[in-house]
Amino acid sequence: MQLRFEKRWYDLHEIKELFSIKDKTMSNWLYDKKTGKKKNLPNMGIYKLPDTNYYVVNPIEFQDWFNKRLRIYQ
């Protein structure tokens, strides 16, 4: 899956819509089931803005991570 993106950072909600990801699936990817803490998000291209509770997504890095994840299940 190759999408074209504008040269900007995206919100998590926008990424879920573009990639057709359900809330439950995104939640499972973001949080560790045993500890409830967030996983290593920069590997997915997701970054927390300093001094806020807001996350932004680098769409190119996320798409690379997403495509690698798809290959695992094929």
**pLDDT value, residue 9:** 92
Per cent of the chain over pLDDT 70 is 95
Whether the Cβ atoms of residue 12 and residue 26 lie closer than 8 Å to each other: yes
Residues 6 or more apart in contact with residue 38 via CB below 8 angstroms: 30, 31, 32
**pLDDT value, residue 34:** 84
pLDDT digits (tens, 9 = 90+) for 27-70: 888 888 888 888 888 999 999 999 998 999 999 999 999 988 87
